[in-house]
Amino acid sequence: MKLSELTFRGKAALVTGGGSGIGRAIGLQIAGLGGRVCVADLDRDRAESLAAEICAMGGQSVGVQADVTRADAVERMVGAAREAFGRIDVLVNNAGGASGPTFRIGQVRKLTERDWDDTFTVNLKSVFLCVRAVAPLMLAQRGGSIVNMASLTGQFPFPGLPAYSAAKAGVISLTRSLAMELAPHVRVNALAPGLIETPRTSLNRRPEQLEQLLSNVPLARMGTPDEVANLAVYLASDAAAFVSGSVMDCAGGQMWMTQDGRPAFRDADRPG
Ligand SMILES: NC(=O)c1ccc[n+]([C@@H]2O[C@H](COP(=O)([O-])OP(=O)(O)OC[C@H]3O[C@@H](n4cnc5c(N)ncnc54)[C@H](O)[C@@H]3O)[C@@H](O)[C@H]2O)c1
């Protein structure tokens, strides 16, 4: 398939953490290209309101409340998607994050065992649980594409985020293992976004923090959820039929994090 022919007509996608930010943008784009979309989210309202929005646009969608850290909930979520659409061609393991209602992030000396476990559970174990539940269906269909949301921090650890960085590095490694195990019928790829403007990243952020963060980004801005979704849609589609086991960055050229928070890329170095 050429990019100019890209379509999800006849296909069904399951997007976890689909009610907000990057996951929401991915669900909307796949629906816009004719795909049926199961929006799964911990937050029922978010999942159902996006599904309603897609249906109002003339698409086909269901919203499902699901906690992807729990095996029983994941099985129910996959059952609901199958019941709605009869198949799952695309799985986007997007749910995750660097903070949650019950756990904190931070330097290793300040992390509790619970913080560590919760970070790994929501970012890494969730991918295992969802793939374990969906892969048999994709293998039986003899086709499927899985996109895992890693992070730039999985490649270049962000100072002060050891658990999140290690969990996302695990997502990248798991992606490569799965790409080998599930070939040739199922493709598995990962995305590594850098700084993306979403409800989560804009929370409680001070302007000087943003300036400091952006000093590490050659393209000198945050990315948008749609810019990450563009890559997710490509990887999920038949246009990427020969791409598996890859990790695609969407990070504005960022390839490092400063150790001490000092700008690595100074304004004085920028042209103009
Ligand atoms: N925003 C960024 O800068 C950035 C950068 C790199 C990677 N990422 C990754 O992208 C993904 C999405 O991030 P975002 O910024 O769009 O976040 P977001 O907080 O805007 O959206 C995440 C969604 O996931 C849902 N969710 C959280 N825990 C869940 C669970 N246990 N089960 C089901 N749903 C759950 C939330 O309710 C929320 O709707 C995450 O995996 C994150 O680690 C984000």
Protein residue whose Cα sits closest to atom 41 of ligand 1: 96
Q: Is residue 70 part of a domain?
A: yes
Q: Give residue-wise pLDDT tens across range 169-179.
A: 999 999 999 99
**Cα of 271 to ligand 1 centre, how many Å?**
34
The model's confidence at residue 266, banded by pLDDT at 50, 70 and 90, is: very low
| CB of 161 shorter than 6 A to ligand 1 | no
Does 264 score more than 70 pLDDT?
no
Task: Report the pLDDT value the prediction gives residue 271, as an integer from 0 to 100.
Answer: 46
**Cα of 202 to ligand 1 centre, how many Å?**
13
Q: Which of 200, 201, 247 to mutate to test the pocket of ligand 1 (most atoms within 8 A of CB)?
A: 200
Across the range 73-81, mean pLDDT stands at 98
Q: Is residue 52 part of a domain?
A: yes
Say how far apart CA 223 and CA 238 lie, in whole Å.
25
Q: Which conformational region is residue 58 in: left (phi greater than 0), alpha (psi within -120 to 50 degrees), or beta?
A: left
Find the CATH number of the domain harbouring 99: 3.40.50.720
**Cα of 125 to ligand 1 centre, how many Å?**
14
Q: Is residue 186 part of a domain?
A: yes
Task: Report the pLDDT value the prediction gives residue 204, as an integer from 0 to 100.
Answer: 61
Report how many domains make up the chain: 1
Q: HEC states along the chain?
A: CCHHHCCCCCCEEEEECCCCHHHHHHHHHHHHCCCEEEEEECCHHHHHHHHHHHHHCCCCEEEEECCCCCHHHHHHHHHHHHHHHCCCCEEEECCCCCCCCCCCCCCHHHCCHHHHHHHHHHHHHHHHHHHHHHHHHHHHHCCEEEEEECCHHHCCCCCCCHHHHHHHHHHHHHHHHHHHHHCCCEEEEEEEECCECCHHHHCCCCHHHHHHHHCCCCCCCCECHHHHHHHHHHHHCHHHCCCCCCEEEECCCCCCCCCCCCCCCCHHHCCC
Q: Is residue 212 part of a domain?
A: no
Q: Is residue 155 part of a domain?
A: yes
Task: Report the pLDDT value the prediction gives residue 108, as an integer from 0 to 100.
Answer: 84
Task: Report the pLDDT value the prediction gives residue 257, as an integer from 0 to 100.
Answer: 67
| CB of 96 shorter than 6 A to ligand 1 | yes
Q: Give residue-wise pLDDT tens across range 22-64.
A: 999 999 999 999 999 999 999 999 999 999 999 999 999 999 9
Q: Is residue 252 part of a domain?
A: yes
Q: Among all residues, which ones are annotated catalytic?
A: 164
User: What backbone phi and psi angles, to 5 degrees, belong to 91?
Assistant: -120, 125
Q: Which of 26, 42, 125, 204 to mutate to test the pocket of ligand 1 (most atoms within 8 A of CB)?
A: 42
**Cα of 99 to ligand 1 centre, how many Å?**
9
Across the range 228-232, mean pLDDT stands at 98
The residue segments making up the domain with residue 242 are: 8-205+223-259
Lowest mean pLDDT among 19-23, 69-73, 95-99: 95-99
Task: Report the pLDDT value the prediction gives residue 258, as an integer from 0 to 100.
Answer: 62
Q: What is the mean pLDDT of the chain?
A: 91
Task: Report the pLDDT value the prediction gives residue 210, as an integer from 0 to 100.
Answer: 84
Task: Report the pLDDT value the prediction gives residue 85, as an integer from 0 to 100.
Answer: 98
**Cα of 267 to ligand 1 centre, how many Å?**
31
The model's confidence at residue 269, banded by pLDDT at 50, 70 and 90, is: very low
Protein residue whose Cα sits closest to atom 22 of ligand 1: 17
Across the range 238-242, mean pLDDT stands at 98
Percent of the chain's residues with pLDDT above 70? 90
Does 270 score more than 50 pLDDT?
no
Protein residue whose Cα sits closest to atom 25 of ligand 1: 17
Yes or no: say if 53 and 37 are a contact pair by the CB < 8 Å rule.
no
Q: Is residue 265 part of a domain?
A: no
Q: Give residue-wise pLDDT tens across range 186-205.
A: 999 999 999 999 987 876 66
Does 116 score more than 60 pLDDT?
yes
Across the range 220-224, mean pLDDT stands at 96
Q: Is residue 271 part of a domain?
A: no
Q: Which residue has the higher pLDDT, 109 or 69?
A: 69
Q: Which of 16, 22, 74, 165 to mutate to test the pocket of ligand 1 (most atoms within 8 A of CB)?
A: 22
Does 137 score more than 90 pLDDT?
yes
